[in-house]
């Protein structure tokens, strides 16, 4: 299989380099081989890159999970802190669809984001329920 | 002082005389073309940052360079660059001759000829690009590869229309929808076609919102366009820092001819992501990018001298360029559809068309078409993955063509 690919590569490169070194026109057959081979090279290159990205991604995911588990374990071992009243118990504003949790996002920016989303979706804001807004760093 | 003689001398040296004698009519046509390009850039906002410069460069060269006329004061000299490329001429590959005899645009053009400007533009693009969507969804790379179909279809079409392999490769790369890559490759392989190819590439990039929706609606069903995609995972800072280093190592080792483009793209991105070179990142994104854009636009425009530009080849290039864009869109969409089927309907095929590397225009078109089908659909970040993959894909395609035809 690999030999066949190598032979096709050599044929395409030879055909193209011969034509270009002579400075004359490339034959249609040679052009077709070069085009197919070129397209295959682009795919090959990006597929290998994809595999590399999957590998690094898997490594970082597992690392994140380990860190999460360690954090959870550390949290469990600490004495329970006084938690604020759950969101459901807080009083809702009239017409509101619920509370939204904000992580590192100021109230003004959150309001703006919610207004933009509602506008883009062409849906009244009070019909949308935002669960949380978190800044991705 | 003989006033009549002085007037005659002034008249004989003026461009007005050259315009109305010999092949001067060709310059008049090119001046009209440059005005149309200026209109498209300014009024219609077709890639104005580059097209206005290109159009004005075209105007300047056609006001100052007349074939058969006095070219001493010309801003750009075709004959000098012909000598530069002629192996039998004493000025072969002599930048010194260009510096001593050339005009302003000849000197600026050295940056194009040496491949400096496109690489620096890529550095700026790298510093402005967030590869996060691609890192979080590496499958996007397949769409970026698929959308290079137009490059090779146009290459094949160009050979069928009688272009040489080097010319066909330069024409084909228009389908990569990546201006700097097209300029870089054309300068290396077919510099005489640079003006037409650059204008075609930037004009069609500006026309993406008009070209792509037709094929998007033709090749996808309403149900497919409505597909909502799951939110991609968050990418850590370390991953973003490692990415440009990995890509540079891998792609340059695979195709060393991509080193100037991919190397600069990834260096710019590393400056952006590493967090300790904010000043550099800011400079390449803004000041350097703007300065290079000024030089690149005007000097590429200078290659559109009437004598070379007004030929049947230019019309063929314009047609092949359009075909390249269409096939690239089709390639991305077809692989998008395939991925949609294989993933059990989790991938919206509209993001496939963003595989052409016109960043972020193509991704925006995917977003707009997705929202037309389903107002609650947000495809932008998903489409940015294939979009930036297309930048790498077109650089690989250019590297392949350069390796084969140089």
Helix locations, B220-258, DSSP H? 222-225, 237-254
Residue B74's region, left for phi above 0, alpha for psi from -120 to 50, else beta, is beta
Domain ranges of chain A: 28-77, 101-134
Q: Is A45 on the interface with B (CB under 8 A)?
A: yes
How far apart are alpha carbons B253 and B251 in whole angstroms? 5
Residues of B in contact with A43 (CB under 8 A): 142, 145-146
Which residues on chain B are in Cβ contact (under 8 Å) with A64?
236
Question: Which of A86-95's residues contact partners 24+ apart within 8 Å by CB, and which partners?
Answer: A95/A126
Q: Which of A31, A99, A135, A20 is nearest to B189 (CA)?
A: A20
B392 touches chain A (CB under 8 A): yes
Chain A residues in contact with B387 by the CB 8 A cut-off are none
Contact criterion met (CB < 8 Å) for A32 and B156:
yes
pLDDT at residue A2 in the model:
46
Q: Does residue A62 belong to the interface with chain B, where contact is any CB pair within 8 Å?
A: no
pLDDT beyond 90 at A130: no
Asked if residue B380 lies in contact with residue B227, where contact means CB atoms within 8 angstroms, the answer is: no
Residue of higher predicted confidence among B60 and A119: B60
Distance CA B1, CA B17 (A): 23
User: What pLDDT tens digit does each residue of chain B (406 aa) get?
Assistant: 688 899 988 888 888 888 888 888 888 999 999 999 999 999 988 889 989 999 999 999 998 887 766 677 788 888 889 899 888 999 999 999 999 999 999 999 999 989 899 999 999 999 999 999 999 999 999 999 999 999 999 999 999 999 999 999 999 999 998 989 999 999 999 999 998 999 899 888 888 988 999 999 999 999 999 999 988 888 889 999 999 999 999 999 989 999 999 999 999 999 999 999 999 999 999 999 999 999 999 998 988 888 888 889 999 999 999 999 999 999 999 999 999 999 999 999 999 999 998 888 899 999 999 999 998 888 999 999 999 999 999 999 999 999 999 8
Q: Does A22 have pLDDT greater than 60?
A: no
Structure token pair of residue A100: 């939204």
**Å between A82 CA and nearest CA of chain B:** 30
Q: Contact, B212 vs B329, CB < 8 A?
A: yes
CB B339 within 8 A of CB B347: yes
In tens, the pLDDT along A57-110 reads 999 888 888 888 888 888 777 765 555 555 555 566 666 667 788 887 888 888
Residues in chain B closer than 8 A to A24 (CB atoms): 164
pLDDT of residue A81: 54
Please give the ipTM for the structure prediction: 0.85
* B179-189 and B165-172 helices, crossing angle to 10°: 170
Report the C-alpha gap between B76 and B63 in whole angstroms.
10
- For residue B367, the model assigns a pLDDT of 93
Q: B142, A17: Cβ pair inside 8 Å?
A: no
Contact criterion met (CB below 8 Å) for B204 and B321? yes
Cβ-based contacts under 8 A for chains A and B: 126
d(CA B380, CA B166): 36
Residue B273: count of CB within 10 angstroms of its CB: 23
Asked if A94 reaches chain B (Cβ–Cβ under 8 Å), the answer is: no
Contact A28 B376 (CB under 8 A): no
Contact at CB, A60 and B397, closer than 8 angstroms: no
Predicted pLDDT of residue A89: 54
Which chain B residues are closer than 8 Å to A48 by Cβ? 250, 254
CA-wise closest residue to A117 among A103, A131, A106: A131
Write a three-state SS string for B180-198: HHHHHHHHHHCHHHHHHHH
Give the residue among B100, B269, B86 at the shortest CA–CA distance from B191: B86
Q: Cα(B247)–Cα(B253) distance, rounded to whole angstroms?
A: 10
Contacts of B309 by beta carbon, 8 Å cutoff, 6+ apart: B30, B33, B58, B195, B196
A94's CB contacts (< 8 A; 6+ apart) are none
């Amino acid at each position: 299989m690999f030999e066949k690919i190598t032979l096709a590569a050599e044929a395409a490169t030879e055909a193209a380099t011969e034509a270009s070194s002579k400075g004359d026109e490339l034959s249609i057959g040679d052009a077709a081989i070069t085009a197919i081979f070129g397209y295959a090279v682009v795919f090959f290159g990006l597929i290998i890159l994809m595999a590399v990205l999957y590998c690094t991604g898997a490594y970082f995911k597992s690392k994140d999970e380990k860190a999460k588990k360690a954090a959870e374990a550390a949290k469990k071992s600490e004495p329970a802190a006084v938690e604020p009243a759950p969101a459901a118990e807080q009083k809702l504003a009239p017409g509101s669809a619920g509370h939204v949790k904000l992580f590192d996002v100021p109230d003004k920016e959150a309001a703006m984001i919610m207004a933009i989303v509602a506008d883009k979706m062409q849906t009244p804001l009070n019909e949308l329920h935002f669960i949380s807004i978190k800044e991705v760093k | 002082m003989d006033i009549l003689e002085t007037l005659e001398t002034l008249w004989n040296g003026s461009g007005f005389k050259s315009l109305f004698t010999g092949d001067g009519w060709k310059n008049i046509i090119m001046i009209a073309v440059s005005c149309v390009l200026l209109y498209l850039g300014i009024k219609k906002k077709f890639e104005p940052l580059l097209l206005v410069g290109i159009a004005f460069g075209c105007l300047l060269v056609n006001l100052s360079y007349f074939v058969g006329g006095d070219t001493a004061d010309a801003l750009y000299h075709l004959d000098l660059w012909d000598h530069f490329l002629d192996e039998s001429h004493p000025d072969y590959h002599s930048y010194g001759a260009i510096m001593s005899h050339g005009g302003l645009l000849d000197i600026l053009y050295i940056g194009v000829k040496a491949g400096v400007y496109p690489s620096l533009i890529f550095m700026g693009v790298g510093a402005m690009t967030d590869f996060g969507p691609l890192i979080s969804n590496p499958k996007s790379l397949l769409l970026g590869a698929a959308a290079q179909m137009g490059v090779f279809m146009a290459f094949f079409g160009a050979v069928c229309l009688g272009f040489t392999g080097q010319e066909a490769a330069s024409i084909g790369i228009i389908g990569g929808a990546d201006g700097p890559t097209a300029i870089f490759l054309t300068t290396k392989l077919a510099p005489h076609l640079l003006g037409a190819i650059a204008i075609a590439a930037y004009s069609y990039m500006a026309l993406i919102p008009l070209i792509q929706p037709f094929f998007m609606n033709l090749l996808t069903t309403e149900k497919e366009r409505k597909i909502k995609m799951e939110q991609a995972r968050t990418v850590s800072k370390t991953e973003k820092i490692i990415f440009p280093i990995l890509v540079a190592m891998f792609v340059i080792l695979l195709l060393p001819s991509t080193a100037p483009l991919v190397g600069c793209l990834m260096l710019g991105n590393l400056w952006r992501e590493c967090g300790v070179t904010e000043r550099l990142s800011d400079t390449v994104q803004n000041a350097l990018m703007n300065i290079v854009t000024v030089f690149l636009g005007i000097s590429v425009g200078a290659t559109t001298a009437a004598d070379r530009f007004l030929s049947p080849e230019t019309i063929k290039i314009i047609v092949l360029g359009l075909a390249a864009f269409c096939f690239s869109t089709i390639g991305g969409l077809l692989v998008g559809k395939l991925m949609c089927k294989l993933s059990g309907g989790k991938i919206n095929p509209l993001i496939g068309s963003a595989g052409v590397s016109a960043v972020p225009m193509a991704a925006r078109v995917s977003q707009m078409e997705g929202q037309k089908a389903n107002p609650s659909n947000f495809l932008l970040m998903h489409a940015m993955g294939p979009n930036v993959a297309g930048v790498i894909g077109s650089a690989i395609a250019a590297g392949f063509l350069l390796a084969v035809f140089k």
